[in-house]
Chain A
Amino acid sequence: MTATCREACCSVTPRLTVAELFERGFRRSREAPRSIEGAPCTGAENNTTSFSLDVADGRIAAVGFRASCCATLIAYCEYIAEIVPSFGLAIARELTASNLVDSVPGVPALKRDRAVLAIAAFRAALLAADITQRGEPSNESRLHLRHPAP
């Protein structure tokens, strides 16, 4: 077992709890956007979010986002922003809302739909990165944007 325990018992930081992701995400959401900006996505209850990326050599170098002031949504967006740097675009596209829900425990069922919104907005930014990198979107990107996995 080599994985670092991020529970309170081990006092390891940064912890991946909703509260701490929200704290870090709230700060990140107020930073200037990165160079490639994805289209904003709006979900239930008028929550809106958009991602921005810096991409170097086909890999994600940095992530920014803007989001409505919803703690759950900001926590999900921050989780994405913290884990995807250094991912290739194709691998990042494989991240699903289910992955997000599983990775950020403690969110009540009624609030988990924010994960779908966060992933849709992240994929919109990946699509924008595709367009920037290749000059046109791949069919796969379009498919993911229109049908974000649950």
Chain B
Amino acid sequence: MKVAYIFATQRHNISYVLAKMILPQLEQKRHGVDVVGMFFFEDNNYVLVDGNPIGERLHKVAKDTGMLLMGCDQCCYEREIADKLFPGVPIGCFPDLYKALSGNMPDQVITL
């Protein structure tokens, strides 16, 4: 099964759910499903800023597996980080996300 994650809430999502659950499992290739994309809203976008240690690991997994990483464009502009993300990580809105996923559609989209 293929899934895409949308990180929409901000409580413990990046430091805990992503960094201590999903990401280690992806690195160890035992997450159980293929993650074809991740989309980030609001402060969650800071993980995509070039140099972020969690983002470094995530970016490596994305490059190795072809997983899409995308930041919300308005969220990134508001935080003035849109041009500071890891190389090749785009920003966009829903049309960009759907277009980017269209070649590798997930079976489930999971909002965290």
Contact = CB atoms under 8 A, between A and B. Distances in A.
Interface of A: 8, 17-19, 22, 45, 69-72, 75, 105-108, 110-111
Closest 9 CB pairs of A and B: A18-B77, A19-B78, A19-B77, A71-B74, A108-B83, A71-B73, A106-B83, A108-B82, A106-B82
A110 B90 contact: yes
B93 A18 contact: no
A75 B95 contact: no
A70 B93 contact: yes
Interface string B30-70: 00000000000000000000000000000000000000000
Interface of B: 73-74, 77-78, 80, 82-83, 85, 90-91, 93, 95-96, 99
Contacts, number: 41
B95 A71 contact: no
Interface SS of chain A: helix, strand, loop or mixed?
Answer: helix
B80 A106 contact: yes
B93 A71 contact: yes
A22 B95 contact: no
Given A110-B91, A111-B73, A111-B91, 14 more contacts: A17-B77, A17-B80, A19-B74, A19-B80, A22-B77, A45-B96, A70-B93, A71-B73, A72-B77, A106-B80, A108-B82, A108-B85, A108-B91, A110-B90
A93 B9 CA distance: 45
A3 B78 CA distance: 24
Contacts of A70: 73, 93
14 contacts: A8-B80, A22-B74, A70-B93, A71-B73, A71-B77, A71-B93, A72-B77, A105-B83, A106-B80, A106-B82, A107-B83, A108-B83, A111-B73, A111-B91
A75 B80 CA distance: 13
Contacts of A106: 77, 80, 82-83
A105 B83 CA distance: 9
Contacts of B73: 70-72, 111
Contacts of B91: 108, 110-111
Contacts of B77: 17-19, 22, 71-72, 75, 106
